[in-house]
Amino acid sequence: MRRAIGMCAAAMTTVLVGGVSGQITTELVASGIDRPVFMTTAPGEPDKLFVIEQEGAIRIIENGVLLPIPFLDIDPQVTGGSSGQSERGLLGLAFSPDYETSGRFFVNYTGPVQGQSGTHTIIAEYHRSNVNSNIADTTERIILTFPQPFSNHNGGWMDFGPNDGFLYIATGDGGSANDPGDRASDLNEFLGKILRIDVSDDQVTYTIPPGNPFVGVAGAREEIWAYGLRNPWRTSFDSATGDLWIADVGQGAREEVNYQAASSTGGEHYGWRCREGTIENPSFPGCTITPSPYTEPVHDYPHTLGRCSITGGYLYRGCAVPELDGLYLFGDYCSGDVYTLDPNNGFAVNTVLNVPNFSLSSFGEDAMGEIYVMDLFGGTISRIVSTNPVDDNNNGIPDGCEETCLPDINMDGMLDASDFTAWVAAFNANDPIADQNLDGLVNVLDFNAWIANFNAGCN
């Protein structure tokens, strides 16, 4: 089990409906943030939450406190993010898997490119300061740029694949309405895609993973992993399996959730602009997708009940809210509704939370797998919690998040000779609890590991 990170906890007013009705709510973590659009954590720094402010800054919440000095502020070079309807700005942040030692991280923003006209998406690399881990070095290295023909549909999400270590980048179709250049289906365009690149070698900007689906295909960008997307507004990996979840904002009729299994070899076409959710795009009757077949979403919903724009979330892998275990969370920007989708039950969907007057700009996930929601105009970040967490020993930590004491085999809360007897019985039964070195095997090496764990004791 994992121990939950302590955060400030002022309750937010909520209305709970359907699904696990009455069992979850939210608690305020931080306020006073300027248009929060994303939140993540950095490897090796579990007590910090890194929050993107759309105009161009990254803020740190450390042990529940919003630090006054930004981690990074590139506002002068960022285009957009300052007005109520702007879709531009600083939109994505991803920490290198080796961040703890290298200090490398990557941002995705819209801005000018020297010597070129118009606004571009810019993927850039920065480093943590060698002097202060809460401050970034402002030296920028450009990794990738491509033009944005219109001001909307910029995508912006980035993350490293948990299974392959490559950088994945979600891009919108370039904007306007109904993808006038049919860019989402054009394999010679970066727009309307999921890209996959290798940035592990800091001596070059990036390389192409040899397993990308369009390597060697004439006329295709080899960076492309998947395509046929309108404006993926938030994508995420399942931290346990590596499955990919893509929430794609619709035109005027349907919002959709796409799912890509970790075993995928890429190349999926998700249907836009011929398809909007599970229906034919009303603006293009008779439209056909080449090549076919396209990949249908696992869920879509109409623009009813005040809903207008999907916000993708995460597959819950935390410990504090067992009601959500194994469920994918997503929501709607306009209605404030939060939903769960169950991949183990036919992708069944339930409404679990509604936050009135809440502009749901993004979800976030901390190092423990707990899920957060952001209010764009309210400038707040709140954590999703159980209304009645099980805490039998009243220590303020949900029982599901208590640390496990490995050598306490009989789980009586004490370390004594009876645990050795219990370990021998577990060993003879090939019980996984006898695996004391956590190598996935039960063998004689676990005896020495149990002795070492016993001598080390537990807190």
Mean pLDDT, residues 283-291 taken together:
89
Tell me what pLDDT residue 14 has.
Answer: 42
| Mean pLDDT score of the chain | 92
The per-residue pLDDT for range 60-88, each reduced to its tens digit, is 999 999 999 999 999 999 999 987 679 99
Mean pLDDT, residues 219-246 taken together:
98
Tell me what pLDDT residue 8 has.
Answer: 37
Residues in a beta bridge with 341? 328, 349
**For residue 125, what are the CA distances in angstroms to 104, 172, 222, 372?**
7, 21, 21, 26
Mean pLDDT, residues 18-22 taken together:
49
Q: CA angle at residue 451 from 450 to 456, to 5 degrees?
A: 95
Tell me what pLDDT residue 237 has.
Answer: 98
Identify the band that residue 414 occupies on the pLDDT scale cut at 50, 70 and 90: confident
- Provide the strand spans (E) within 221-308: 224-227, 232-237, 244-248, 254-260, 275-276, 279-280, 299-302
Mean pLDDT, residues 35-44 taken together:
97
Tell me what pLDDT residue 399 has.
Answer: 78
Mean pLDDT, residues 311-333 taken together:
96
Identify the band that residue 2 occupies on the pLDDT scale cut at 50, 70 and 90: very low
Q: Is the predicted pLDDT of residue 357 greater than 70, yes or no?
A: yes
Mean pLDDT, residues 297-321 taken together:
97
Residue 423 dihedral angles phi and psi, to the nearest 5° = -65, -45
Letter for the amino acid at 420? Answer: F
Tell me what pLDDT residue 20 has.
Answer: 55
Q: Is the predicted pLDDT of residue 21 greater than 60, yes or no?
A: no
Domains and CATH numbers, the chain: 10-386 (2.120.10.30), 404-456 (no CATH)
Higher pLDDT, 444 or 214: 214
Tell me what pLDDT residue 19 has.
Answer: 47
Q: Is the predicted pLDDT of residue 7 greater than 50, yes or no?
A: no
Contacts of 406 (CB under 8 A, 6+ apart): 436, 450, 453, 458
Question: Alpha-carbon distance 251 to 231, whole Å?
Answer: 9
Identify the band that residue 428 occupies on the pLDDT scale cut at 50, 70 and 90: very high
Tell me what pLDDT residue 248 has.
Answer: 98
Tell me what pLDDT residue 10 has.
Answer: 38
Tell me what pLDDT residue 250 has.
Answer: 98
Higher pLDDT, 149 or 399: 149
CA dihedral 327, 331, 337, 343 (to 10 degrees): -20
Record the pTM: 0.87
Tell me what pLDDT residue 172 has.
Answer: 98
- Structure token digits, residue 427: 């060993």
- Structure token digits, residue 273: 């602009």
Q: Is the predicted pLDDT of residue 310 greater than 60, yes or no?
A: yes
C-beta separation of 172 from 204 below 8 A = no
Q: Is the predicted pLDDT of residue 16 greater than 60, yes or no?
A: no
Tell me what pLDDT residue 22 has.
Answer: 55
The per-residue pLDDT for range 260-271, each reduced to its tens digit, is 999 999 999 999
Mean pLDDT, residues 350-374 taken together:
94
Q: Is the predicted pLDDT of residue 256 greater than 70, yes or no?
A: yes
Q: Is the predicted pLDDT of residue 5 greater than 70, yes or no?
A: no
Tell me what pLDDT residue 459 has.
Answer: 67
Identify the band that residue 343 occupies on the pLDDT scale cut at 50, 70 and 90: very high
Strands of 120-128's sheet, edge to edge? 90-95, 104-111, 120-128, 136-147
Q: How many CB atoms lie within 10 A of CB 417?
A: 8
Mean pLDDT, residues 306-314 taken together:
97
Identify the band that residue 45 occupies on the pLDDT scale cut at 50, 70 and 90: very high
Tell me what pLDDT residue 4 has.
Answer: 32
Question: Alpha-carbon distance 95 to 40, whole Å?
Answer: 9
Mean pLDDT, residues 230-251 taken together:
97
